[in-house]
Amino acid sequence: MTLTALAKEHDAFEQARRRGRYSETWLTAAMRYALAADERAAGCFAGLVVQTLEPVRMTAPPERLQSSPQEEGFRGGALRQRGRRADFLFRNADGTYGLMIEAKLGAVLSAKQLPDYLRLRPAELGLRPDAELEVAVLAARSLAVSTSRARANWLGCATWQEVVDALVEIPFEDGDRSLRWAKLLERYRHDRGFGTRRGVNLPPASALDSSVVRIVAAACEASNGALRIRALPWGPQSQLVVRKRARNASMCIQLKAPRSRPTDLLIHLEHPQNARPFVQLIRPGRVPEELASFPVHKNADRCRQRIACEVARLVVERVLP
């Protein structure tokens, strides 16, 4: 790495550290500089995001990936009238694979941002015309967005909460860079920039936000791929999957079998003030039907696992869809 590039990396890390929770621009800049200097670390980063979104996937991204220290620019829209920039773009050496990741901290995607990404042709990003191009989002809150008319492979939206523990442990060839990287991510975790707190006992909305991918994956696996399952946005004008309240949170997934009408499942997590948290699984309708109700642990990971197991059980027992 040249002295100029090294100075820019140090500056990006320092700016991200100083600006704290809402420095999405400086955080991604610091991460890009670090990943651009180490192809194996870039491969680890990409692999962690892909594995989180597709846990039963048989093929992983290449172990070594190239990444640019600058945002990758391209033109979006049907007439290519919109200027777009990708937060992270990883590619292999021969240009046959690309992974684009859009990172969000406190914001949601603009109305046409993701459609512009998904309609990209690989050649527009410097890849081979027949290259495999995948798109993912990394955000503080779980997002559900329309992916119609997609050319690229849409992986989904992961939350920082689901990957930050593994991201901190990414090894770099340069020990000083590993230390800076770990300290930066820990700073954002502790300042709740990733939607987390210091402990593992998360508030209801954070616990559900980090459960969406696991719940959908568990239901898909329980159906042996026979069902099409997706998380639904909470409101018609919203991208957020989880409805957030002071002591409870709710989300909804949709399950659809071939040649059948879709079935919705409402997942409600309640944190009473002086009692153990519990979850209700409800089939909405004119007369809502409670399919299951069970207590959960305040530990976020154990809570996620229990909800995913119960939803999978309902699929296996054919209570759903």
Residues 225, 85 share a domain: no
Report yes or no on 58 lying in a domain: yes
Report yes or no on 195 lying in a domain: no
The pairs formed by 78-86 with CB atoms below 8 angstroms and a separation of 24 or more are 82/112, 82/116, 84/113, 84/116, 84/117, 86/117
Residues 234, 161 share a domain: no
Question: Average pLDDT of 79-107?
Answer: 80
**Tokens standing for residue 221:** 């696996």
CA distance 246 to 244: 7
Domain boundary at 190, 224, 242, which? Answer: 190
Tell me what pLDDT residue 313 has.
94
The lowest-confidence range among 53-57, 126-130, 183-187, 215-219 is 53-57
Report yes or no on 197 lying in a domain: no
Distances (CA, A) of 82 to 73, 77, 235, 316: 10, 6, 27, 46
Residues 284, 236 share a domain: yes
The chain-wide mean pLDDT, for the chain, equals 81
Residues 248, 153 share a domain: no
The torsion angles phi and psi of 122, rounded to 5 degrees, stand at: -55, -35
Judged by phi (left if over 0) then psi (alpha if -120 to 50, else beta), residue 155 lies in alpha
The number of beta carbons lying within 10 Å of the beta carbon of residue 97 is 20
Report yes or no on 196 lying in a domain: no
Report yes or no on 133 lying in a domain: yes
Structurally, the chain folds into a number of domains equal to 2
The torsion angles phi and psi of 143, rounded to 5 degrees, stand at: -120, 140
Tell me what pLDDT residue 15 has.
63
Tell me what pLDDT residue 3 has.
39
Report yes or no on 263 lying in a domain: yes
More confident residue, 146 or 272: 272
Whether omega before 204 lies within 30 degrees of 0, making that bond cis, reads no
Burial (0-12, 13-18, 19+ Cβ within 10 Å), 25 = middle
Residues 183, 75 share a domain: yes
Question: Average pLDDT of 51-80?
Answer: 73
Residues 211, 123 share a domain: no
Question: Average pLDDT of 119-135?
Answer: 86
Residues 213, 180 share a domain: no
Q: Would the pLDDT of 183 be above 60?
A: yes
Q: Would the pLDDT of 1 be above 50?
A: no
Tell me what pLDDT residue 316 has.
93
Residues 296, 244 share a domain: yes
Residues 162, 22 share a domain: yes
Report yes or no on 198 lying in a domain: no
More confident residue, 157 or 274: 157
Residues 108, 38 share a domain: yes
Residues 251, 130 share a domain: no
CA distance 118 to 152: 5
Residues 276, 177 share a domain: no
More confident residue, 312 or 24: 312
**Tokens standing for residue 126:** 């410097």
Structural domain range at position 115: 3-190
Domain boundary at 156, 190, 224, which? Answer: 190
Report yes or no on 52 lying in a domain: yes
Question: Average pLDDT of 301-308?
Answer: 89
Domain boundary at 190, 217, 234, which? Answer: 190
